Amino acid sequence: MELYLVGGAVRDMLVGRTPTELDFAFDGTVEDFLDAHPDARRVGKSVHVCLWRGRECMPLRGNSPVSDLMARDLTVNALALDSAGRLYAHPQAYHDLRRRILRPASPTSFASDPTRIFRLARFAAAWPDWSIDKNAFEQMRALSVADLAALPAERVGREIVKALGAPAPARFFRVLAQGQALRPWLAELDEASRIPAGPEQWHSNSVLGHSLRIMDMVAGDAVTAWMALCHDLGKIQTDPALLPHHYGHEKRGIALSAELARRLRLPDRFARAGALAAAEHMKGGMYSMLRPGTRRDLLWRVHASGLDQRFWRLVDADSGSPVSTVALAHLAVLLDLRLPEAWRNKGESSARKLRDMHCQALAKL
């Protein structure tokens, strides 16, 4: 029985990257594999996946390397390496690797597994200098909302989290928008693409366009990119009669960002970060104009969330000014203060006394 190294690991080896995930496939049936490897076992929800010595192994689709390659997601991932060092490749794999093109491996790649559109978008975010073949968008547009709605939320959410940490996270959402595939999982963003971000003297594009621009400005950290995506979500519920103004969008954005994180089954830290970004980004941008008490309470709420650096980085990008320099310096002053011994362990009285001390310290700065 032959065991093949397949997919992205082979691709990475060909382009000089160190593989991070090793996927294996074998010829024959799962029963054949288990008979040949008594220490292997079936795992996961799929009866076709076997775990052998820490490796996940699956049978080749069509029971041959050539058939398996044609059934994969993208041509650049349609690669296999056998134990003798023989390389099997999709007919267009080498061309697309050289030209840096993301192309579906077959005319039915996305129809056979619609999750692949999110993988395509994630690769686009990870490799911003790669182009996308027009057939990819044609296949994306051919999928119905029902096709996408049937996907497991966890699979969609995993791809989104990976994309958020990519060098160009906003490209993930731009690709989906171009392929008319934001609904149903990212329906809020589809709405945001049609709503002005604000008055022209401050904003020249849509709510989505503005949020994606901020995402790329804070690229490098998945949670911060998510905060950028969520910070203006409340604007999609603005009364059309008030446009282009968005009074009160901060409060509306809290529930919207929480619902989006819930729908995608994202980790709790993303839900908390999105809600904080929505609720507090406006106050953060006006930090220099706030009264000492309001400054203190904002600093303390952000600090309690454990998101100091991420939140103030978002505020810098959104406001276009280095607010974080002052805010974080002020926070450091507050964290150095200690309650006098006589005021400790008095519950709410201690909390009020500490707040008074904080406000007085900020007033002097």
Residue-wise pLDDT for 216-230, tens only, equals 999 999 999 999 999
- Is the separation of the CB atoms in 206 and 193 below 8 Å? yes
164 closest CA partner among 234, 267, 251, 21: 267
Q: CB-based contacts of 34: which residues, under 8 Å, 6+ apart? A: 40, 41, 42, 50
Q: What is the pLDDT of residue 20?
A: 83
Q: What is the pLDDT of residue 47?
A: 61
Beta strands in 84-222 (DSSP E): 87-89, 101-102, 131-132
Q: What is the pLDDT of residue 45?
A: 66
Q: CB-based contacts of 107: which residues, under 8 Å, 6+ apart? A: 135, 139
- Is the separation of the CB atoms in 343 and 337 below 8 Å? no
Top-level CATH class of 1-99?
alpha beta
DSSP label at residue 122? H
Each residue's pLDDT expressed in tens, for the chain with a length of 365 residues: 889 999 999 999 998 988 888 889 998 888 889 999 999 998 866 668 889 888 889 899 888 899 999 999 999 999 999 989 999 999 999 999 999 999 999 999 999 999 999 999 999 999 999 999 999 999 999 999 999 999 999 999 999 999 999 999 999 999 999 999 999 999 999 999 999 887 876 777 899 999 999 999 999 999 999 999 999 999 999 999 999 999 999 999 999 999 999 999 999 999 999 999 999 999 999 999 999 999 999 999 999 999 999 999 999 999 999 999 999 999 999 999 999 998 989 899 999 999 999 999 999 98
The domain spans of the chain are 1-99
The C-alpha atoms of residue 121 and residue 170 are separated, in whole angstroms, by 10
Query: Tokens in use for 196?
Result: 């002005």
φ, ψ for residue 88 (rounded to 5)? -110, 135
